[in-house]
C-alpha cells in the first residue's frame, strides 16, 4: 500500500512539474513583431556608439548570440546566464543581444551595454582588474603556499632523519658517531681499557 | 627545543592569517544587504525611451519629462507587491501635481491585463506606458518589479529604489530636487 502511494506521488509530480515549468516560461508581455524584436533600445547608440562591425545573420548570428548570452548573468535568477534562464527578464535581454548583434554591434559592445545599465555584476566572469584580482590571484597564491608548506615539511623531515640516524642499525649508528666524534672514540677506548 | 617552538608559531600564524582574512571578509559581507546592488545609473543621464501610452497609444519619450523632477515606476499586473505600492504612487502624484511628473511603465504585460488591473485598483492619475519586449526596463537595469527611479529636471538619475516605494522616502527624494 505504501509503495502504491509513493508511486502515485511520483506520477503526480511528473505531471505537475512540466506544467509548472510551462507556466513559468509563458510570455506575459505584449507580443512584439519581428521589427520590435530587432529594434534597438533608444539608448544603445548613446551608450556604446555606432556598430563596430558588419551586420550578422544566420549561423554566424546564432553562434555569436550563444557566446555572448552565456557570459551575461540573468538579473532576476542570479546564478544563470541569460542563455540558460527561462525567465522573461533573461529572454528580453537575449532578444536585445540578438538585435544588437544583428545590427553589427560587436560582442564587447553588447557586454558594455548591459554593464552600463546593470553594473559589472551582470557579467558572469568578472574582469581581471582592481579588487577583482583577488579572485584570480588567491587560488594561485594558495597553490604556491601549499607547495611551499610541502617543501618545508620534506626538508624538515630530512634534517630530522639525519639527526636521529633513522634507518641505521645500532652498531652502524655507533660507528657513524665514532667517525664524527674523535672525543667519543677516546672515551670508549678508555672505558674498554679500564674495564 | 627553541627551534621547534619557533616553527610551531610560524605554523600557527600561517593558519590564522587566512582564517582572519576570511572572517573579515565574511563579517563585512554579512553586515551588508545581500539584495542591494548599486545602480551604475545614479548621477548619470537617464536612458532614453519612447513608449506607447496605454490610454491612446501616443508615443511618450523620456525627454518630454524634462523640466521638472520625474518619478519613473516600473511595475506589472503579475507583480505581488504592486497592489500595495499603487495607492501610494497615486497619492504622491496628487501631492506633487504640477511640480513633478509621474510615469508608470508596465513591464512585460498585455494592454488588456493592464487596463483590467488599473480598473480593479482605483485607476491611475498619471500616465502608464507599455514597455514592449522590456527594452526600457533593460536600459534602466531593472532586476524585478516594482522599481522606482527619480530623475531630476535636467534628466539625470538621482535615486533608484528596488521593491515597493514608500511615501516618506519618495517625498524626501523629490523635495531634495525641488
Percent of chain B with pLDDT over 90: 71
**B11: pLDDT strictly greater than 90:** no
Judge whether B38 is closer than 8 Å to chain A, CB to CB.
yes
Q: What is the CA radius of gyration of chain B?
A: 23
pLDDT tens-digit series, residues A104-132: 999 999 999 999 999 998 999 888 888 77
Separation of alpha carbons B37 and A146, rounded Å:
35
Cβ distance of A115 and B40 shorter than 8 Å: yes
Separation of alpha carbons B161 and A184, rounded Å:
85
**B75: pLDDT strictly greater than 50:** yes
pLDDT higher at A173 or B66:
B66
Separation of alpha carbons B135 and B139, rounded Å:
6
Secondary structure tally for chain A: helices H, strands E: 9, 0
Position B1 confidence tier, pLDDT thresholds 50, 70, 90:
very low
Distance from the Cα of A71 to chain B's closest Cα (Å) equals 16
Q: What is the pLDDT of residue B5?
A: 56
Separation of alpha carbons B38 and B17, rounded Å:
31
Position B132 confidence tier, pLDDT thresholds 50, 70, 90:
confident
Put simply, whether the predicted model's pTM sits higher than 0.80 gets the answer no
Residues of A in contact with B50 (CB under 8 A): 42
Residues of A in contact with B142 (CB under 8 A): 75, 89
Q: What is the pLDDT of residue A3?
A: 59
**Degrees to nearest 5, angle at CA B28 with B24 and B34:** 140
Taking Cα atoms as reference points, which of B173, B178, B177 lies closest to residue B160?
Answer: B173
pLDDT tens-digit series, residues A178-191: 676 778 778 888 88
Separation of alpha carbons A128 and A112, rounded Å:
15
Q: What is the pLDDT of residue A194?
A: 82
Cβ distance of B40 and A92 shorter than 8 Å: no
Separation of alpha carbons B11 and B19, rounded Å:
13
Judge whether B41 is closer than 8 Å to chain A, CB to CB.
yes
Separation of alpha carbons B155 and B160, rounded Å:
14
Separation of alpha carbons B104 and B95, rounded Å:
16
Q: Where are the domains of chain B?
A: 1-32, 50-177
**A30: pLDDT strictly greater than 70:** no
Task: Name the residue among A36, A46, A89 with its Cβ closest to that of B132.
Answer: A36
Cβ distance of B141 and A149 shorter than 8 Å: no
Residue where the block lists cell 652502524: A172
Mean pLDDT, residues A36-43 taken together? 74
- Tell me if A103 sits within 8 A of A136, measured CB to CB: no
Mean pLDDT, residues B93-110 taken together? 94
- Tell me if B101 sits within 8 A of B65, measured CB to CB: yes
Chains A and B: how many Cβ contacts under 8 Å? 96
Separation of alpha carbons A126 and A68, rounded Å:
14
Q: What is the pLDDT of residue B169?
A: 95
Determine which of A28, A93, A120 to mutate to test the interface with B (most B C-beta atoms within 10 Å).
A28
Give the contacts of A187 (CB within 8 A, at least 6 positions apart). none
Residues of A in contact with B76 (CB under 8 A): 28
Cβ distance of A92 and B39 shorter than 8 Å: no
Mean pLDDT, residues B133-156 taken together? 93
Note the residue count of chain B: 178
- Tell me if B93 sits within 8 A of B70, measured CB to CB: no
Taking Cα atoms as reference points, which of A44, A37, A35, A146 lies closest to residue A92?
Answer: A37
What are residue B103's DSSP bridge partners? B72
Determine which of B41, B134, B155 to mutate to test the interface with A (most A C-beta atoms within 10 Å).
B134
- Computed over every residue of chain A, the mean pLDDT equals 80
- Tell me if B137 sits within 8 A of B131, measured CB to CB: yes
Which CATH number applies to B50-177: 3.40.720.10, 3.40.718.10, 3.40.30.10, 3.60.21.70? 3.40.30.10
Amino acid at each position: 500500500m505504501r509503495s502504491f502511494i509513493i508511486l502515485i506521488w511520483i506520477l503526480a509530480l511528473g505531471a505537475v512539474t512540466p506544467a509548472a515549468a510551462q507556466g513559468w516560461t509563458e510570455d506575459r508581455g505584449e507580443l512584439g513583431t519581428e521589427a520590435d524584436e530587432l529594434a534597438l533600445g533608444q539608448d544603445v547608440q548613446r551608450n556604446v556608439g555606432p556598430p563596430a562591425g558588419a551586420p550578422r545573420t544566420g549561423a554566424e548570428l546564432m553562434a555569436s548570440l550563444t557566446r555572448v548570452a552565456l557570459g551575461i548573468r540573468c538579473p532576476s535568477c542570479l546564478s544563470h546566464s541569460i542563455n540558460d534562464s527561462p525567465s522573461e527578464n533573461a529572454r528580453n535581454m537575449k532578444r536585445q543581444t540578438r538585435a544588437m548583434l544583428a545590427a553589427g554591434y560587436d560582442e564587447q559592445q553588447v557586454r558594455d551595454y548591459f554593464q552600463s545599465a546593470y553594473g559589472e555584476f551582470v557579467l558572469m566572469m568578472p574582469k581581471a582588474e582592481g579588487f577583482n584580482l583577488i579572485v584570480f590571484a588567491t587560488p594561485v597564491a594558495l597553490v604556491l603556499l601549499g607547495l611551499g608548506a610541502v617543501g618545508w615539511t620534506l626538508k624538515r623531515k630530512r634534517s630530522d632523519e639525519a639527526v636521529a640516524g633513522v634507518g641505521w642499525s645500532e652498531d652502524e649508528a655507533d660507528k657513524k658517531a665514532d667517525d664524527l666524534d674523535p672525543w667519543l672514540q677516546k672515551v670508549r677506548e678508555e672505558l674498554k681499557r679500564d674495564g | 627545543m627553541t627551534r621547534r617552538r619557533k616553527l610551531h608559531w610560524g605554523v600557527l600564524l600561517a593558519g590564522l592569517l587566512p582564517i582572519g582574512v576570511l572572517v573579515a571578509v565574511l563579517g563585512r559581507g554579512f553586515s551588508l544587504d545581500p539584495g542591494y546592488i548599486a545602480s551604475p545609473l545614479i548621477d548619470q543621464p537617464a536612458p532614453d525611451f519612447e513608449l506607447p501610452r496605454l490610454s491612446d497609444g501616443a508615443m511618450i519619450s523620456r525627454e518630454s519629462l524634462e523640466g521638472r523632477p520625474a518619478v519613473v515606476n516600473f511595475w506589472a499586473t503579475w507583480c505581488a507587491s504592486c497592489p500595495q505600492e499603487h495607492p501610494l504612487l497615486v497619492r504622491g502624484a496628487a501631492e506633487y501635481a504640477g511640480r513633478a511628473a509621474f510615469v508608470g511603465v508596465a513591464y512585460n504585460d498585455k494592454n488588456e491585463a493592464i487596463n483590467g488591473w488599473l480598473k480593479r485598483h482605483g485607476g491611475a492619475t498619471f500616465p502608464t506606458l507599455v514597455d514592449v519586449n522590456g527594452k526600457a526596463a533593460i536600459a534602466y537595469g531593472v532586476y524585478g518589479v516594482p522599481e522606482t527611479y527619480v530623475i531630476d529636471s535636467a534628466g539625470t538619475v538621482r535615486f533608484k529604489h528596488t521593491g515597493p516605494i514608500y511615501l516618506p522616502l519618495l517625498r524626501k527624494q523629490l523635495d531634495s530636487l525641488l
